[in-house]
Amino acid sequence: MCGRYVAALDQAALVAEFEVISPPVESLFVDYNVAPTKRVYVVLDSQDSDTSVNALEVARWGLVPSWAKDRSMASRMINARVETIADKPSFRSAFGKRRCLIPANGYYEWSVPPKQPFYIHAADGAPLAMAGLYEWWRDQSVAEPDPAAWLLTCTIITTAAKGEISQIHDRMPVLIAREDRSGWLDHSVGGELALAGVKTPVPLAAYPVSTAVNKVSNNGPALVLALPGIPAGQSELQGVCSSLIPEPRQ
């Protein structure tokens, strides 16, 4: 799973990196310990435009399906397994036409045993674009036109970890390379076709970090510093996140 990540790019950097035409009014602080239910940036294909343009929105991490009676299930819907998103009622509709990118500098994962946190990031230091889904949920307790009447939520799509990254954990986010972003976001294309277009590998590196990240209230750039005393050549694991398409069902 992916349960914690780093979002340290400011809004201006995100607008440039993801070729955003429509940025949000709200600006979030950088966050080195993003946890479920926090407000996060998402990039999506604006459905209000006649042409395909990228919009930057602020969503709450933890998907609330449009049909949900309340938002209580959000904390259980932070990840969606790529192998089942086309079938599960909670994700099926969003997979078809509400796909997004969730920007990150990197993400944390814990190995077991022992329970040691690692910081996993692009090997070249570039921002990551985690594949996600989003939904708008209508809060019936709030009358329109109050903006709080609608809640935007998101989830991160995960897959089986590949290469040496699998030594840390058996799951990882599906990562979308720059070349594949527009195809993934295109809401005029169905989910299966969009997933088939995710072909470009994203090389990753990882190193152990302090257990301070375990506490959600801890934050700041010190969380991504490598643990001291790790011999050169032993602190980095190299791996690749490629197209990560699940095997067809038999």
Instruction: Give the Cα-Cα-Cα angle 210, 106, 198 (nearest 5 degrees).
Output: 150
Annotated catalytic residue 135: no
Asked if 64 and 53 touch (Cβ cutoff 8 Å), the reply is no
Asked if 122 and 9 touch (Cβ cutoff 8 Å), the reply is no
Q: Which of 57, 83, 100, 109 is catalytic?
A: 109
3-state helix, strand, coil in the chain (%, to 5): 20, 35, 45
Alpha helices per DSSP H over the chain: 11-17, 89-97, 181-185, 191-196
Candidates 154, 190, 186; CA nearest to 46 is 186
Annotated catalytic residue 109: yes
**Bridge pairing between strands 54-61 and 150-160:** parallel
CA distances from 6 to 9, 10, 217 (A): 9, 12, 14
Q: Which of 2, 100, 154, 241 is catalytic?
A: 2
Q: Active-site residue numbers? A: 2, 109
